[in-house]
Chain A
Amino acid sequence: MLLIACPYCGMERPEIEFAYGGEAHITRPADPGALADDEWANFLYFRSNPNGVIAERWRHVFGCGRFFNCLRDTASDRILAVYKAGEARPGLAADEAGG
C-alpha cells in the first residue's frame, strides 16, 4: 500500500484514502463536435501506459476530496512528485526520470 502526500492537505496518507483517476493532462476537447471519429476515440481510449514515469490523477476522496496529480514510476511503484490540479507537470532530476 502506497503512502501518498496530498498536495492540498500537505501530509502523507495511506492509499486507501485515495481513488485512482487515470492518466493526467488529458484535457477534454473544448469542442468535441469538431473532432473526427479517430481523434475522439484517441481522447476516449488511448493512454500512454509507459514502463516508467507517468503523470496520473488521484483524488483524496476520503480526505479533502480534491483531485491532484502525481508522477509515479510504474516500474518501481515509486511516487516521484505530487502537484495540484492545473499545475504544470514538474521536471525531475535525471536519475529519477530515468525510471
Chain B
Amino acid sequence: MSQPFRADGLGSVDRSRPIRFTFDDVAYQGYAGDTLASALLANGVHLVGRSYKYHRPRGILGAGAEEPNALVSLSRGLGRFTPNLRATQIELHEGLKASSQNRWPSLAFDIGAVNDLLSPLFAAGFYYKTFMGPDLFGKNWAWTHVYEPAIRRAAGLGIGPREPDPDRYQRTFAHCDVLVVGAGPAGLAAALAASASGARVVLCDENPGPGGSLLAESEATQIEGFGARDWLAKAVAKLRDAPNVRLMMRTQAFGYYAQNFVALNERLAEPDLIADPELPRERLWQMRAHEVVLATGAIERPLVFPDNDRPGVMLADSARRYLNQYGVKVGERIVIAAAHDGAYRAALDLRKAGVDVALIADLRPDAKGLLPEATRAVGVEIAAGAEILGVDGRLRVKAVRIGIDGKKRAIPCDALLMSGGWTPSVHLFSQSRGRLVFDEARQTFRPGASAQRERSAGACNATFDLEGALAEGDAAGRAAALGAGFAAPVARAYPVSGALPAAVSSPAAGGRGANAAAGRRSKAFVDFQNDVSSKDVNLAVQEGMRSIEHIKRYTTTGMATDQGKLSNMNALAIAAHALAKPLPEVGLTTFRPPYTPVTFGAFAGPARGEMFDPVRRTPIHDWAAANGAHFEDVSLWKRAWYFPRGRESIREAVARECLTTRKTVGLFDASTLGKIEVVGPDAAIFLERMYANAFRKLEVGRCRYGLMLSEAGFLIDDGVIARLKPDRFHVTTTTGGAPRVLAQMEDYLQTEFTDLKVWLTSTTEQWATIAVQGPSARDCVAPLIEGVDLANEAFPHMHVREARACGVPARLMRVSFTGELGYEINVPSHFGGAVWEAAWGEVEKRGGCAYGAESMHVMRAEKGFVIVGQETDGTVTLADLGLDWAIGKSKKDFVGKRSLDRPDMLAANRKQLVGLLTDDPAIVLEEGAQVTEGANPPTGSSALGHVTSSYPSAALGRSIALALVAAGRSRIGARLNVPMPRGAVQVTVTSPIFYDKAGARLNG
C-alpha cells in the first residue's frame, strides 16, 4: 500500500515495520513509530472529523495534546471502546480500528452540517436566547421536552460505550526527590543534572518516547557535537542506567495540587495490553515530590482568519514535526500564514524536503531578520503585510485568498500552515497556584513567582531556543537537587550548532486585523473544539460581558478538554481589543486539571464491582446463605433480609416469619449491631454525659435503652447499654452507627472531658449476637446456657448476665426489639456460627423460624419502636418521638441538654411521632409520602409531615404506618390525607403503638 506523502530519508519511524490499520473502515498502512495522525497524513488524509456545533469538516491541526479536531473513537471489541481520543497521540499498532465522530451518515456527507447554514441561531449564548417557549404544557415545557433533547442529540462528540470496561486499572502512591515533567531538551537536562546529585528523580512525559521538540529537529542540529537524535539516545541511555532515575513514558502529569502533589496518568502501550490482557491499562500515580521541575514545552498559536478551520489548515511547527519526526509531508504545495518567525523555520525544512512552498503570507508589515532572509534566499516568495481573506475548499484546502497592497490574490495549494507564535504550557504551573506574568516582548504569559517548590525551564518558561532551554533545564535540575537536600553538581553547558535559530520575534497579537475581514457567512475560529469564532467573542463583549471568566462561560471558549491550549491567547486578544484594554489587564481564565482528559477507569482504579467497598459479613452469614436468605446492604454489612421458603414472595415470607415469631419463636442475627466497650473508674459518669439517660445509679447486671443526642439536642443514635461491672459497660449502637458514636465519644473524652479516666474499645467484630424472640424463647435458650437462672423474676426484662453458652463465654441479655419475650446471646465471633446452629436446633424443634431484617422492622413498627435514621433525620428530638421519659431529669448537664430548652425545641407545632391507619386496610402507604389536612392541598402549601415507616402487618391483619406529623399527638383520632398521584389516601391518626399496647408479652 502506498503512502504517497512519505518523505524519503526523513523521520524516525521504522520503515522496516509496516503496520495495517483502518479509519472509518478504510484500510491504510503506516509504520511503527507513527501516530494515527501521522499515518493518515502519510496517506493524504486530512479530513478526520466534524466539529462540535456546526458539524464543519475538520482536519488535523496539531501534532500533540493540543489537537482540537482529530478526535476519534477506538474500538477493539468487548467493551474496549474509547471515544474522543486525539489522533495525534494514538500510537499506531497492528489492527488498530479508528472511526470519526459526530457525523451521519458519513464523514464526507454529514446531515448535521445544516447547522453551519443555520449558524446565526447558534451564536454565543444561544441556549439562553433562542429556545424560549412556547410553554404549552407548563413552564419551560418546550425547553424540557423539545429543544434540550434535540440539542443533546445533535451536539457532543463521541458516544460513550455501553458495555462494562473489561480492563484493569491501578492506583499507585509514590514519593521522589525531584519530579521532572516533560522529557524534551529542558527536562532531559534537568533530569541529568538532578540525577547526578544522587537525588531520586522521576522523569515523565506524555509521549511514547523522550525527546520532545528534539524529535522535530532536522538532521543538521547538533548538541555537544552529536546529531540531535544521537545526543538524545545517549542522554536517555544515561538516565536509564542510573539506578536513582525512573523514566515514565506515556505518562501525563495532569494535575498539580497542594504540597507538590502531582497526579500522573500512565498508559500502557496497546500492543502490550493485547499481548497480556492481565496488565493494567492505566495507572494513576499520586506522586509527592520534594521538588518539581516543569519542562512542559509550548504550543504554537493558531491565527484567526476566515475559514481557518478547513481540513488542510495546520500549525506550521506541527507540519515541521510531521516532516522531521515522522517523515510525512502534509501537502505538496503549501502556503504559510505567518505572524511570527517560527513559520520560516517550517518553510525552510519543508522546502529542503522538496515541498513546494508557494507563498509565505506574513501578516506583519515587514518580514526582516535572519529567518525571513534565509527563506527568501532559497527562492520562497514572501508577501509582507498580507491579509488572509478566506480559504477555499470544503473538505480540503484548495486555495487561499489573500489581500496584499489593496489587491486580492488566490493561491492554489493543498495545505495552509499558520504560525502565531508560541504559548508556553503554563497549565501545571498555574494549577500549582504560581503567579503568571505577561511578557510584552513575546506577547505571552509566562511563570512568575512560584507558590510551591517548583521551577519552570525551557519553552514553558518562554525560553524557546534550544541552547537556552538546555541551559535552563540544567540550572533547574541543579536547583531542584539542592532544594531536596543534595549537593548540586557543577553547571554544564550544552553547546548547540546547526539549528535554525528559534524565533523569538514578537508575534502580531491574536490576528486581530485578519478578523475584521470575516464576512457574514464566513467564520474565523478562536476555539476549534468548541466551535467558538471571533464573532462570538465580540458578541459576548457587545452584550455586556466584561470579565474574561464571563466571556469564557458565555462563549464556551477554552472550556472542556481544550483548557485554553490553543484558544486562550487569541480569545484574550480579541476580548482585550473589543474592551479597549491592555491584554494583561483582561487577564486569563483559570487553568483547571486535568491537562488532558483522564478516563474514569483511571480514577476508579480497582474500586469497582466487588472491590468498590469493603463488605462486612457476620459469623452467621454462611448459615443464612445456605438457608436461602436474601440479603440487603445496610452500611457495609450484608444483612439477611428474609428467608423465603419454596416460592414465597418477600411479603409472604415476612408475614410467616412475623406470625411464627409472635406465636412461638424466631431466631435473628443481630451481630451487625455496633458494640463499644466503655471501661474505667469514670465510665458511668462518662456515659451520663454522653447519653441523655442516667447511668450512675444503674445497677450491675441491668440494661438501659441509651439515647445519644448531638450537642444541638437531636437524637443521633440509640442502643441498649448493659452494666457488667461497676467500671465496665457493654454499649450497643445502631447497625453502621458504631464508628460515628465512637468518634463522638472519643472527641468528648479527648478534648472536653479530659478529667475522666475512661477507655473506649470497638468490639463490634468481637461479638456475634444471636437474638431469640417469642413466647418460646426461654425454652430455646435454656438448654444452651449454663450458670444463669432464667426464671422471669430471677432474670427479668432489661437485665444482663455473664454466662456460658454452649460452653463458651457469653453475655446474655434479656432484651426485646419485637415486644416478645426475648434474649440476645453475645458470644465471641468465632463461636457465633456454632452457637447459632445450636440455637437453631432448639428453635426448629419448637416450630420456630429464622427471621430477617425486614421482619425485625415490621415487628418493631408494630410496637412503635423507632429506628434512628428512619423515624429521625437529624432534626428530631426525644420529645418529638415521645421518648423524653428516658431523659435523666436530675442530671445537670449532658451532651445536647442545653439545646432542649431552645425556643424552637419547645414549639407547640413540632412534628411528633404518631401512627397512621388507612381507611382501606389493604393500602400500604409509601414511606416518605406527605401527610396533609385536605385531600387536595393547594399548590405551595406545606405538608403536616411525612410517613416514616409503613408495612403490611400480618399480626394485625392490616397495614400500619408511623409518621411525623405537626402537633401529631393532639391529632390522635383525626382524619388526615396522604395525597398520591392516583388520589389521596385517607388515614386516621393513632398512637404509634399498634400491638400489645400494655406490653404484657415482654414478661412471658
Residues of B within 8 A of A32 (CB): 893, 897-898
Q: Are A59 and B746 in contact (CB under 8 A)?
A: yes
Closest to B288 in A: A3
Do residues B746 and A65 form an inter-chain contact, with CB atoms below 8 A?
yes
Nearest to B903 among chain A residues (CB) is A37
Q: Are B902 and A57 in touch, CB under 8 angstroms?
A: no
Is A31's CB under 8 angstroms from B743's CB?
Answer: no
Q: Are B258 and A31 in contact (CB under 8 A)?
A: no
Q: Answer yes or no: B259 CB below 8 A from chain A CBs.
A: yes
Partner of A86, one of B173, B259, B754: B754
CB closest residue in chain B, given A69? B751
Interface string of B870-905 (1 = CB under 8 A from A): 000000000000000000000011000111011100
Partner of A76, one of B257, B451, B751, B892: B451
Smallest CB-CB separation from B713: which chain A residue? A44
Contact partner of A33 among B173, B433, B747, B892, CB < 8 A?
A: B892
Q: Does B750 contact A (CB under 8 A)?
A: yes
Q: Are B752 and A2 in contact (CB under 8 A)?
A: no
Q: How far is the CB of A86 from chain B (nearest CB, A)?
A: 7
Chain B residues near A21 (CB-CB < 8 A):
747
- Contact flags (1/0) for B712-750 with A, using CB distance below 8 Å? 100000000000000000000000000000010011001
Q: Is the CB–CB distance between A40 and B898 below 8 Å?
A: yes
User: Does B143 belong to the interface (CB within 8 Å)?
Assistant: no
Per-position contact with B for A7-25: 1 when CB-CB < 8 Å, else 0? 0000000100001010000
Interface pair A1/B897, CB less than 8 Å apart: no
Pick the contact of B893 from A31, A57, A86 — CB < 8 Å? A31
Q: Which residues of A lie under 8 Å from residue B746 when comparing CB positions?
A: 59, 65, 67
Q: Name the CB-closest residue of B to A78.
A: B258
Residue in chain B with minimal CB distance to A22: B747
> Which residues of the other chain, A, contact B897 by a CB distance below 8 angstroms?
32-33
Give Cα distance in the complex from A33 to B902, angstroms. 11
B829 CB-CB contact with A under 8 Å: no
Q: How many chain B residues touch the partner (CB < 8 A)?
A: 26
How far, in Å, is B256 (CB) from chain A's closest CB? 12
- Inside 8 A of B752's CB, which chain A residues have their CB? 27-28
Q: B286 near A: Cβ within 8 Å?
A: yes
Task: Give CA–CA (A65, B789) in the complex, Å.
Answer: 41
Q: Nearest Cβ distance between residue A31 and chain B, in whole angstroms?
A: 7
Whether a CB of chain B sits under 8 angstroms from the CB of A66 is yes
B899 touches which of A31, A44, A76 (Cβ 8 Å): A44
Which residues of chain B are near A92, meaning CB under 8 Å? none
CA distance A76 to B897 in the complex (A): 39
CB distance from A71 to the nearest CB of B (A): 15
Q: Does A35 contact B (CB under 8 A)?
A: yes
> Which of chain B's residues have a CB closer than 8 A to the CB of A76?
258, 433, 451
Contact in complex: B743, A61 (CB < 8 Å):
yes
Hey, which chain A residues are within 8 Å of B901, CB to CB?
37
Residue of B nearest to A31 (CB): B893
Select from chain B the residue with minimum beta-carbon distance to A37.
Answer: B902
A1 to B173, CA, bound (A): 12
Most buried by A among B259, B261, B743, B752: B259
Query: A55-73: which residues lie under 8 A (CB-CB) from chain B?
Result: 57, 59, 61, 65-67
What are the residues of chain A within 8 A of B902 when measuring CB–CB? 37, 40-41
| A59–B746 CA distance with the chains assembled, in angstroms | 10
Q: How far is the CA of A59 from the CA of B259 in the complex (A)?
A: 20
B257: chain A residues at CB < 8 Å are: 1
B743 to chain A, nearest CB (A): 7
Chain B residues with CB below 8 A from A61, complex form: 743
| Chain B residues with CB under 8 A of A28 | 711, 752
A35 to B899, CA, bound (A): 11
Docked pose: A78 CA to B433 CA in angstroms: 12
Which A-chain residue is minimally distant from B263 (CB atoms)? A1
Smallest distance from the beta carbon of B774 to chain A beta carbons, Å?
Answer: 41
| Chain A nearest Cβ from B605, distance in angstroms | 14
- Identify the closest chain B residue to A45 (Cβ): B712
Q: Choose among A2, A28, A61, A65 the residue with the greatest number of B CB atoms under 10 Å from its CB.
A: A28
**Complex Cα–Cα for A57 and B752 (A):** 13
Report the bound CA distance from A59 to B286 in whole Å: 23
> Does A87 sit at the interface, judged by CB under 8 A?
no
Q: Please state if B899 and A40 are interface contacts (CB–CB under 8 Å).
A: yes
Indicate whether A81 reaches chain B with its CB closer than 8 angstroms. Answer: no
Identify the closest chain B residue to A4 (Cβ). B259
A80 beta carbon closer than 8 Å to chain B: no
The answer on a CB contact under 8 Å between B750 and A66 is yes
Q: Which positions 695-723 of chain B face chain A at CB distance < 8 Å?
A: 711-712
Contacts A21-B747, A86-B754 given; does A1 touch B261 at CB 8 Å: yes
Q: Report whether B258 and A67 are in contact in the complex, using a CB–CB cutoff of 8 Å.
A: no
Known contacts: A61-B743, A67-B750. The answer to whether A44 contacts B711 by CB under 8 A is: yes
Q: Is the CB of A19 within 8 A of B898?
A: no
Residues from chain A with Cβ under 8 Å of B898 in the complex: 32-33, 35, 40
- Closest partner residue, chain A, to B711 (CB atom): A44
Please name the residue on chain B nearest to A75 by beta carbon: B433
How many angstroms from the CA of A31 to the CA of B891 in the assembled complex?
A: 12
B-side contacts of A27, CB under 8 Å: 752
B712 touches A67 (CB 8 A): no
CB distance from A46 to the nearest CB of B (A): 13
Q: Which residues of B contact A86 (CB under 8 A)?
A: 754
- Complex Cα spacing A43 to B451, Å: 36
A85 vs B899: C-alpha distance in the bound complex, in angstroms? 26
Give per-residue flags for B255-289: 1 if the beta carbon is below 8 A from chain A beta carbons, else 0.
00111010000000000000000000000001010
Name B739's closest neighbour in chain A (CB-CB). Answer: A61
Give, as a whole number of angstroms, the nearest-CB distance from A3 to chain B: 5
Which of A2, A35, A44, A57 makes the CB contact (< 8 A) with B258? Answer: A2
A67 and B286 contacting across the interface, CB-CB below 8 Å: no
Contacts of B751 in A (CB 8 A): 57, 67, 85
Cα distance A35–B261 in the bound complex, in angstroms: 46
Rounded to whole Å, the gap between the CB of B125 and the closest CB of chain A is: 32
Min C-beta distance of B216 to chain A, whole Å: 37
CB distance from A11 to the nearest CB of B (A): 13
User: Inside 8 A of B899's CB, which chain A residues have their CB?
Assistant: 40, 44
A56 CB, min distance to chain B CBs, angstroms: 13
Chain B residues with CB below 8 A from A65, complex form: 746
- The reply to whether B750 and A85 form a contact with Cβ atoms under 8 Å apart is yes
Q: What residue of chain A has the Cβ atom nearest to residue B893's Cβ? A: A32
Chain A residues near B743: list those with CB within 8 A: 19, 59, 61
Given contacts A21-B747, A67-B751, 6 further A-B contacts (CB under 8 A): A19-B743, A28-B752, A31-B893, A37-B901, A66-B750, A85-B750
A-B contact pairs, 20 of them (CB 8 A): A1-B257, A1-B286, A2-B259, A14-B173, A19-B743, A21-B747, A31-B892, A32-B893, A32-B897, A33-B898, A37-B903, A40-B899, A41-B902, A44-B712, A59-B743, A59-B746, A67-B747, A67-B751, A77-B258, A86-B754
The 10 closest A-B pairs by CB, nearest first: A32-B898, A77-B258, A67-B750, A28-B752, A3-B259, A40-B898, A67-B751, A85-B751, A1-B261, A44-B712
Q: Interface residues, chain B, CB within 8 Å of chain A?
A: 173, 257-259, 261, 286, 288, 433, 451, 711-712, 743, 746-747, 750-752, 754, 892-893, 897-899, 901-903
